[in-house]
Structures are given as structure tokens and as C-alpha cells.
Chain A
Amino acid sequence: MAAAGAIRTAGRGGLLERLSDALWRRPRLLLLLLLLPPALWLGIIYLGALFALLAQSFFSIDEFSGLIVYEPTLKTYRELLTPANLDIIQRTVTMAALVTLAAAVVAFPIAYYAARYARGRWKALFYLGVMLPLWSSYLVKVYSWKLILAKEGILTWALGKVGLLWLLEAWLALPGVGGNSLSTSFTGTFLVFLYVWLPFMILPIQAALERVPGSMLEASGDLGATPAQTFRHVILPLALPGVIAGSIFTFSLTLGDYIIPQIVGTSARFIGQAVYQHQGTAGNIPLAAAFAVVPIAIMGLYLWWARRMGAFDAL
């Protein structure tokens, strides 16, 4: 008989090996060690700063001295609810809702194609097409859009060439959405928002649809459902968590953005611009904080509503 091999293979006994042996026996300790740094980062720097900001909204500003009075009060929230500020909130929420709705409608067919039909090279092309805009500077894209939408821009020129300028002019003559040119209208702001946030809607919907097996759609058809019924009763409910995830991005990003409405659109302000101005030039940190609470509250309500509507049942 040859000598049997050792039952326990000997390590080289280095410090790292002994450490990995010790951690192998205490997996929870390893998990704790791995989670602690990001938890601290998230907890203190991220959430801590956020709560510090929100706490500011319960202070107020002295109207004469312009200094912050560090006493808990709801005075700032009363100020938030003045007609001029409510107008800003309403405009922003309307814009966010329209952008989200339009993004969902535009994103769905693209995501559906990518999830169901695109394979191999076409799938790579899809990811490239969706992600490429995210790689270039946000400011460059917004300024490009300003040029595209300008009165002398390519869009107006192209519409003039195909004889549809009257359509653009009729649209710009409409109150609320119109203006001198697309780049100085509510419509222009909407188009740029739609463009920059679209990838954030496509990708979650595509991920949700990717998880729906083809047999489920066949089963629906097999049971007598027309394609429209299959869409309504199977595809849409199963894609809904993805649509909700995407809408969280598009909705909250639109609620908080202050650059796009600054560059493209009318002079009417959005929440982000109000926050920027109050904490900057106006030095009214409490009101800026109160404005910042609005998107958080709206998103909270939105998620609560989505949950109640069963949007996450398919998860």
C-alpha cells in the first residue's frame, strides 16, 4: 500500500491564510466587515446630510436681518404654500408626470423589441444605442438641444422644408405649451427632459420583460386572448414593476433638475431652480429645504399608491 495523502491539506500558514480560515468559520463577521463601510457612507454622509437639510426646513428666516432663526416652526412651510410657490410645484409635478408618461410610452416598444426579439449583435447595438447618450456630457446634450430647437435650428428648418411649419407655429401659438420658439417653450423643456431621461425608463422595462418567458405569452394566446388582450392582461402587469422603477427615475430626476429648465424653456421656474436660488442668491436655506422636501413627499406618495395598485405583485 502506498502512503495515503493527508486528510487535511496543510496551508502555507501565512497570516492571510489564517485570516481567511477564521473568516470562513464566521461568515457573519465577514458580512459585517463588508457592509460596514458602505453602510457608514450611506448612513452618515448621504442620509445624514439629507436629514440635516430637511431639518433646516423647520427653521425660519428673519425677514429683517436675513439670518436663520434656529427655532422649530412651520412658518417656512406656510411660505412654501403661497400661490407663487404652489405654482412652481404644480408646474414641476405636471412636467414630471408628462415626461414620465411620454417616456413610458416611447420606451415600451423599444424595451419590448430588445427583450423579445433582439439577439446577439442586435442586442449589443440596443445596449450601445441606449447607453451611448449617457456617456456624453449632460450639458453638451442640453445645449445641443437648445440649438436643435432654436428658431433658426434644424427642426424648424426641416419642418419648413417638408411644409409643416404651419403645424409648429400653430402649436407654439397655444397658450401654456407654446412660446416664441421651441427652445423657449414648455414643449421644448419637455422634449429635452424626455430625451435625457429616456434610457432610465428603457432599461428597467427591458429587464422586467426579459424575465417574462415566451411560453407565458403563448399560453395567453392559447387560451383565446388576442394580442391586445395579452398585452393588457399579461405583458403590462408583468412589466409594471419595471415601468414603476423607470418612472421613479424619470419622475424624481425631472422633479429635482434645475439645469434643463434654465437652458431650454420659459422663464417660469421649476422646483430645482427655486431650491438653487433660495439656497444661493437669496440665502433662504429653510425655504430651499422645504422645497427639497416636496419631491421626497411626492415620491413617497407615488410609491405608496403604486404598491396599493398592485404594481409590485409580480415581483
Chain B
Amino acid sequence: MPAAVEFRDVCRFFGTVRAVDRVSMEIAEGEFFAMLGPSGSGKTTCLRLIAGFEQPTHGAVRIFGQDMTGVPPYRRAVNTVFQDYALFPHLNVLDNVAYGLMVAGRGRAERRREAEAALELVQLPGYGARRPGELSGGQRQRVALARALVMKPRVLLLDETLGALDLKLREQMQEELKALQRKVGITFVFVTHDQGEALSMADRIAVFNEGRIEQIGTPEEVYNRPAKPFVADFVGSSNVLPPEVTFAVAGRRAWASLRPEAIRLVGGGRPARVLATAFLGASTRLHLEMAGLDITMLLPRGAQVPQPGETVSIGWADGDLHLMESA
């Protein structure tokens, strides 16, 4: 069976800017796939290449095995939830949700029935008569979601969808999105710059940097075994040790990743000077300087917090120092 979405050596250049640079990936049907990266890393351009808003400069995007080169967005069985929701201000919520059915020429009664079912699915029953302007950010988002889902797409694209919501609502929507995806069984492709969001929701994550994919893997793989220093740093703000430091502490000459929560205060460990501390609630973050290198560690709640300027002794389990392939 062909992949839901396949990129084969895809490039998208804007003038001299290489927004997407030789990206190859396969997204399986029914998968919750996250494209994670900082802004300008090419993840949104990849999403737009799937939606059809952009055409590749080189290479091909395939959806369920079919080459999508030259296929306009309105001929693709994918739908998008936009970052700014892009609800139509002149239509009420029901007509917004039914828009795709309307342009497809479906009957009024059917449109109404399906749109109401979609609103039910996103837990906004009875909101049909309102205007988008009367809704809160979270509600607008649900309308945008219903508007895309009502089309029964084979692939649903979500562009930084939760970015505009406050923290509590965002966490709630993360769980709902995940539950919804299991329920409808559609392939979700989710763009985010929030590594926590990607880790908690996705089946697999592609980490983007400067138009390229640095690593593709499950959240556990990406977090525990980052392939490159960028991944280690971007996903979970790991401490990245250059080869000479790794050689000094572990006897191997390679880049290594050391998670802040893996570091402990132990007697007889390596000496480090405390530069600053920050109380995070569940833990306290310490900024340390060890052998000329900035190191971050998380101190669990209840532990004695050292003062800036003190020298502490730190250590970690051998297995927690993860060696990486290259820079």
C-alpha cells in the first residue's frame, strides 16, 4: 500500500532562499505525524506543498501514490486547518463548515446535516447560527477543524493550529485532537514549533532545520536518541557536548547529548560552578559551568538548591550520555 504522503527529493526555493532542501519522507496512512522545527525551518512550506499552495522546485510530492505535480489545491483530497483559522467573516458558523459541501454542489439539507454532525464532533453543537467574530479563539479553532473534517479528507493538515491558544486550552485541545484523530482514523500532519506538543501528540516526528529534515522517528527515539546536536538541543533543550568534552568524560570522541533531568548532584562527581537558578515549580533549573561548558540540569522538587557561585559535584548514569553520529 502506498504511503499517505510521500516526499521524494523535494526542494522549494524562493529566489536564493532554500525553504525546503531535498526533503524525502513517507507518512503512513492513519498516522499522527508532526513536523517540528523553529520558524523558517521549512516545515510550513512542506505542509503547503502537500496542500498544493506551493509547487516543488524539484522532486515530487505523492499523495496515496499519485504524483501531485501541477494538481491545484481544489483537486486534492487533503484539507487544512489554518494557523489564523481563515474563517469566512461574512458567513455564519454553519455556512463556514458547510462551505466545502456547498461548492461541491451538495443539497441544502445534506449540507446542514453534515455540518451539524461535524460541529457535534468538535463539541460545538448549536453554534451554527453564530458569526465567527462572536466566537473565542478556541471555538474558532474548533470551527476551522469542523470545516476541514466535514470534507472527510484522506489527510488533514494542521498548521501551528494550537499556537494562538493559552496554555491550559492548548493542553486540552492537544488531548482532544489526539482523541479525535483516533476516532476518525484520518492521517494528521501537524506543523508545530512546540516540541512538547509534538512529543505528546505525534506517532512520529520529523525535526526540521534550515529546510532539511534532521531526524525522523517516534517521540521516544527523537527524545532519547537524537541523531544530531540540533535535534538534541531543540527537542528538550539537551546539553550538547562537543567531541573533546565527550572524550574527557566518556573516553569517546563524538558529539554527545546529556538530558538536563539525567544529571544529578552526587558526591565525588565532576565539579561544576552554579551560575544561576530558576524555580520552575515541579523542579528547579540550574545553569552550571563545567570544564568551560554551559550545562543545564533540573533539580527535582524538595532537593536542597545551591546558591549561585557555589561549586557542586554532578554525575549521571553511563547510559544517559547519548553519543550522536555527527554535527
Q: A218-B53, A218-B73, A313-B90 are in contact. Are A223 and B84 (CB under 8 A)?
A: no
Task: Give chain B residues whose Cβ lies under 8 Å from the Cβ of A215.
Answer: 82-84, 86
Given contacts A233-B99, A233-B103, contact A221 B86 (CB under 8 A): no
Known: A224-B100, A233-B103. A219 touches B89 (CB 8 A): no
Task: Select one of A222, A234, A237, A310 contacting B73, CB under 8 A.
Answer: A222
Chain A residues, Cβ within 8 Å of B73? 218, 221-222
Is B55 part of the binding interface, using a Cβ–Cβ cutoff of 8 Å? no
Among B79, B90, B148, the residue within 8 A (CB) of A314 is B90
User: A227-254: which have CB < 8 Å to B?
Assistant: 229, 233-234, 237-238
* Complex-state Cα separation, A221 to B51, whole angstroms: 10
Q: Is B72 an interface residue (CB 8 A)?
A: yes
- Report the minimum CB–CB distance from B143 to chain A (whole Å): 12
Q: Are B104 and A222 in touch, CB under 8 angstroms? A: no
Indicate whether A238 sits within 8 Å of B90 (C-beta atoms), given known contacts A213-B84, A215-B84, A224-B103.
Answer: yes
What count of chain B residues pass the 8 Å CB interface test?
A: 25
Contacts of B52 in A (CB 8 A): 221-222
Query: Does A90 make an interface contact (CB < 8 A)?
Result: no
Please name all residues of chain B whose beta carbon is closer than 8 Å to the beta carbon of A131 when the two chains form the complex. Answer: none
With a cutoff of 8 Å between Cβ atoms, the chain B residues found around residue A226 in the complex are: 74, 103
Interface centre among A221, A222, A233 (most CB of B within 10 A): A222
Note all chain B residues with C-beta closer than 8 A to A223. Answer: 74, 79, 99-100, 103, 147-148, 151
In the complex, are the beta carbons of A222 and B79 less than 8 A apart? yes
Any A CB within 8 A of the CB of B64: no
The answer on a CB contact under 8 Å between A219 and B103 is: no
Is B80 in the interface zone, CB < 8 Å from A? Answer: yes
Residues of B within 8 A of A229 (CB): 103
Asked whether B316 is an interface residue with its Cβ less than 8 Å from the other chain, the reply is no
Any chain A CB within 8 A of the CB of B127? no
Minimum distance in angstroms from B274 CB to a CB of chain A: 30
A224 lies within 8 A of B82 (CB): no
Q: Is B88 an interface residue (CB 8 A)?
A: yes
Do B90 and A225 touch (CB < 8 A)?
A: no
A223-B79, A224-B104 are known contacts. Are A314 and B151 too (CB-CB below 8 A)? no
Contact of B86 among A219, A225, A310 (CB under 8 A): A219
Interface check A277, CB cutoff 8 A:
no
Residues of B contacting A220 in the complex (Cβ-Cβ under 8 angstroms): 88, 99, 103
Q: Which residues of A contact B84 (CB under 8 A)?
A: 213, 215
**Interface size on A (CB < 8 Å)?**
20
A314-B99 Cα distance, complex, nearest whole Å? 16
Residues of chain B within 8 A (CB-CB) of A233 are: 99, 102-103
Nearest-CB distance from B7 to chain A (Å)? 19
**Chain B residue contacts of A234, Cβ below 8 A:** 88
* A216 interface residue per 8 A CB criterion: yes
Which residues of chain A come closer than 8 Å to B89, judged between CB atoms? Answer: 238, 314
Whose C-beta in chain B lies nearest to the C-beta of A241? B90
- For A217, give the chain B residue with the smallest CB separation: B86
Residues in B58-105 with C-beta less than 8 Å from chain A: 72-74, 78-80, 82-84, 86-90, 99-100, 102-104
Contact mask for chain A residues 296-314; partner B; CB cutoff 8 A; 1 contact, 0 none: 0000000000000010011
The CA of A158 and the CA of B11, in the complex, are separated in Å by 51
Interchain nearest-CB distance for A258 vs B (Å): 38
Q: Identify the interface centre among B51, B73, B103: most chain A CB within 10 Å of its CB.
A: B103
CB distance from A195 to the nearest CB of B (A): 32
Is A218 in contact with B151, judged by CB distance below 8 angstroms? no
Residues of chain B lying within 8 A (CB to CB) of residue A314: 89-90
- Chain B residue numbers with a CB within 8 Å of A219 are 80, 82, 86-88, 147
In the complex formed, the residue of B with least CB distance to A215 is B86
Q: How far apart are A194's CB and chain B's nearest CB, in angstroms?
A: 29
Question: Which of B51, B90, B151 is in CB contact (< 8 Å) with A224?
Answer: B151
CB of B115 to closest CB in A, whole Å: 12
The answer to whether A218 touches B72, judged by C-beta atoms less than 8 angstroms apart, is no
B61 to chain A, nearest CB (A): 15
Closest to B79 in A: A222
Most buried by B among A233, A238, A310: A233
Task: Give the shortest distance, in Å, between A261 (CB) and chain B (any CB).
Answer: 38
Q: How far apart are B101's CB and chain A's nearest CB, in angstroms?
A: 9
Residue from B82, B83, B90, B151 having most chain A Cβ neighbours under 10 A: B90
A272-315 contact mask (Cβ, 8 Å, vs B): 1 or 0: 00000000000000000000000000000000000000100110
Q: Which residues of A contact B82 (CB under 8 A)?
A: 215, 218-219
Q: Which chain A residues border B104 with CB–CB below 8 Å?
A: 224
How long is the Cα–Cα vector from A310 to B84 in the complex, in angstroms?
25
A222 partner residues in chain B, CB cutoff 8 A = 51-53, 73-74, 78-80, 148
Complex interface: chain B residues within 8 A of A310 (CB): 90
Q: Report yes or no: A213 in contact with B74, Cβ–Cβ below 8 A.
A: no
Chain A residues with CB below 8 A from B72, complex form: 221
Q: Give bound CA distance, A224 to B87, whole Å.
A: 15
Asked if A216 and B103 make an inter-chain contact with CB atoms under 8 angstroms apart, the answer reads no
Contact partner, A216, options B74, B88, B147, Cβ 8 Å: B88
Q: Which 6 A-B pairs have the closest CB atoms?
A: A223-B100, A219-B86, A215-B86, A225-B103, A314-B90, A221-B73
Q: Can you list 10 pairs linking A and B with CB atoms under 8 Å apart?
A: A216-B86, A218-B86, A219-B86, A221-B74, A222-B78, A223-B148, A224-B151, A226-B74, A233-B102, A233-B103
Q: A220-B99, A222-B80, A223-B99 known; 12 other A-B pairs, CB under 8 Å?
A: A216-B86, A218-B82, A222-B79, A223-B74, A223-B79, A223-B100, A223-B147, A224-B100, A224-B103, A233-B102, A238-B88, A313-B90
A-side residues, CB < 8 A to B, are: 213, 215-216, 218-226, 229, 233-234, 237-238, 310, 313-314
